Amino acid sequence: MLGDVRGILGQDGVVGVALRASRRGNAAAGSPPPHHSFRQPEVGTDANHHRPAHHRHHPRRHRGRLPHRLGKFCTGVVAVTALDDTGNPVGLTVGSFSSVSLDPALVAFFVGRHSTTFPKVASSGRFCANILAADQHELGRAFARSGTDKFRGIDWTPATTGSPRLAGAHAWIDCHIDLVQAVGDHDLVVGRVVELGATDTPDPLLFYTSTFHQLTPASPA
């Protein structure tokens, strides 16, 4: 599977957040760790007394400008899916998905602490990261909303962990949750890869300046 991981996550194996989980045991596909085992203490808040004083008292003048400035950074779009405690599919859209490690094979994403869907994903102990294709912008928009039936009219099949693998996705990565770390107003979620694959869809969906986009070659091949 390592060769497939390199192909889907990139040859260097580290894109964006460079975090390494400390646990390196081999989790069986049907045996995710219990929920309490991967919840870690919060970092990045004033309650953390190990932070330097200049971090604890950093001015908040950038808060209003930060979303606009970070919107200049183009990302892919991933639908994170799972089955809740009743066996119903749940999902949410994230743009902060990243590879973390090749050995062990780990991926990660960030999710806002206000999310009403992620607690259901965390409770399952597993998720499937569906990298959306360029023609799946409506799906990406639907999964970003709260309080709706996100899976209405959506075709999916269960991945190895049982989490929904969405039809037509550009690629998919099935995982057990290895770590949930509170960081500021978000949770960092690290997944241990169980299985992954890609389809023949030509291009991924992109998100830039609060709008979905498609790839345009910078120059003829």
The tokens describing 6, both together, are 């390199």
Mean pLDDT of the region 195-201: 91
In this predicted structure, which of 15-29, 73-87, 98-112 has the lowest mean pLDDT?
15-29
Higher pLDDT, 38 or 181: 181
pTM, two decimal places: 0.71
User: Domains in the chain, ordered, with CATH?
Assistant: 2-9+38-45+74-210 (2.30.110.10)
% of the chain surpassing 70 pLDDT: 61
**Contact in structure between 38 and 180 (CB atoms under 8 Å):** yes
pLDDT tens digits along 8-26? 554 333 333 323 333 333 4
pLDDT tens digits along 139-175? 998 998 887 889 999 999 999 999 999 999 999 999 9
Per-residue pLDDT, 191: 98
